[in-house]
Structure 1
């Protein structure tokens, strides 16, 4: 009997050890992909895009037309949001494309709160507000992201939705950081920061996807993303 149990115990241990090793290997590979060559090139491309598009938006023929300026500026917010999320999850299959489009949509739709606060669809009124509209309060970003996570937990949504709070985080953050170049960040109840320097804005925008990926790894979300999208998470 002693020999039988010894045999059973040794076989159980030999099964558990490779399994744990496989899990840890998958975690390590997922974290390494956060800083893979492809993802670093993609974030460099994101910074370059911001550097090139901002002088274009400052051209006189764009600045002279209010609607054109607003539409293009909002489109850039959307592109930065979807590009940032693409760096986080990669574009491996069709569903990934839908996710990055949703991230871009979230990054651009924030500006609707200008019209809400103005109480009118007049663009002139929307861009001439006496104070910032509610969704432009940077203090709300962690609150909204955490609240969404709690709602998902309470509703017992599937793991396939686990990345949604992080998508919201990166979409809102990228929008606020870009706006911060002109007016700083509104950190209620502490007030506004000084305007963000242009080079800091470029640096933070390019590195934000990697910061988000590391935070997702530390909170365990990265493991679920790896199972959903495959281990090779890069663009």
Structure 2
């Protein structure tokens, strides 16, 4: 009964005014940021284009996790920073595939690097969760697989407006419509939050930290 009560509460919180406003704000940020990145001033410089694009990835990751946590404590803010780092660090695989630290080489690859395969997301999330179980990582870090899921998924969805989703071994999809990217990105934190309730992650965090993450 308690589990069902928690799930019902999650559904109600997911539709709260605060949560909806934050999600709308995230959608507006996605819309404005990606339009600004098309300005000639940014597009004419490889470094400015790459850094700006990666920064937007990081901001979306941070914003998404902030919606989930509510940022009520200093520890929540640290998690938000970590989520932004995870959302942006994926692009390091460009340099691995290029086998060079040259930005030009990283931007002119013959194919997409391995971390940009969307099949890697569930594999890495499950691997992280299994590794944490084997190492008996304390319960207060049980949110980490979900953070990885949100951060990497937001990165892949945003890249998909240009290149589509690469789903091994089935190939890739057509580029996502811009409106679908905005809607999916803004709803992703709620999907993750509800998933955390269903799997009991929320309840575990509550019992170990004495607080309940806001949706």
The TM-score, its normalising length taken from structure 2, stands at 0.94
Residue number in structure 2 paired with 1:45: 25
1:121 aligned to which of 101, 106, 116: 101
Q: Distance in 2 between matches of 1:53 and 1:172?
A: 18
Instruction: Answer whether contact 1:136 1:186 (CA < 8 A) is retained.
Output: yes
SS class of match (2:27): helix
Runs of 4+ in 1 over 6 A off after TM superposition: none
CA contact (8 A) 1:62 1:69 kept: yes
State the aligned residue count: 214
Give the gaps of 5 or more residues in structure 1: 1-19
TM-score of the pair, normalised by structure 1:
0.86
Cα–Cα, structure 1 residues 136 and 187, in superposed 2: closer, same or farther, change >3 Å?
same
Residue 158 in structure 1 maps to residue 143 in structure 2: no
Unaligned runs of 5+ in 2: none
Alpha carbons 2:69, 2:213 under 8 Å: kept: no
- Contact 2:10–2:194 (8 Å) recurs in 1: no
Partner of 1:201, secondary structure, is helix
Q: CA deviation at 1:229?
A: 6.5
Report the CA distance between 1:127 and its aligned residue: 0.7
**Structure 1 pair 26/200, CA: closer, same or farther in 2 (3 Å)?**
closer
CA deviations on 1:105-128 (whole Å, 9 max, x unpaired) are 000011010011001111111010
Q: Deviations over 1:23-59 (max 9, x none)?
A: 7655543443233211111111000001111111100
Contact 1:78 1:104 in 2 (8 A): yes
Residue matched to 1:173? 153
